[in-house]
């Protein structure tokens, strides 16, 4: 069984045989280095209410969206325990 991680820049999916919140690597498609988010975290970004999203939300890399949402208290994501 594998888990899916999403490139924050281009959306490429990387499969890994372990389950963590994010992995840091260089994307083989777009060449950007970044924090590939577990697909469950990417899904949770949709929970951020549109009126509370900053201007340019859709253009922000996924990892920047996650950091913004956590910093602003829009998502509660623990970095220990189950995903």
pTM of the model: 0.87
Torsion of CA 65, 68, 72, 76, to 10 degrees: 60
Residue 16 forms part of a structural domain: yes
CA–CA gap between residue 22 and residue 10 (Å, rounded): 16
Number of domains in the chain: 1
What Cα–Cα distance (Å) separates residue 70 from each residue in 3, 12, 40?
A: 23, 23, 15
Q: Could you tell me which residues are beta bridge partners of residue 38?
A: 5
Residue 82 forms part of a structural domain: no
Pairing of strands 3-6, 33-38: antiparallel
At 82 the pLDDT is: 54
Residue whose token pair is 């060449």: 31
Residue 12 in contact with residue 27, Cβ under 8 Å?
yes
Residue 45 forms part of a structural domain: yes
Residue 81 forms part of a structural domain: no
Q: Each residue of 8-22: pLDDT tens digit?
A: 999 999 999 999 999
Residue 83 forms part of a structural domain: no
Average pLDDT over residues 37-56: 95
What is the domain range of residue 65? 3-71
Residue 19 forms part of a structural domain: yes
């Amino acid at each position: 069984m594998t888990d899916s991680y999403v490139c924050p820049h281009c959306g490429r999916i990387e499969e890994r045989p372990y389950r963590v919140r994010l992995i840091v690597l260089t994307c083989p498609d777009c060449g950007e280095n970044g924090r590939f988010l577990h697909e469950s975290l990417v899904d949770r970004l949709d929970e951020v209410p549109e009126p509370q999203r900053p201007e340019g939300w859709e253009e922000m890399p996924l990892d920047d969206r996650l950091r913004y949402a956590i910093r602003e208290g829009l998502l509660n994501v623990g970095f220990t325990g189950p995903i």
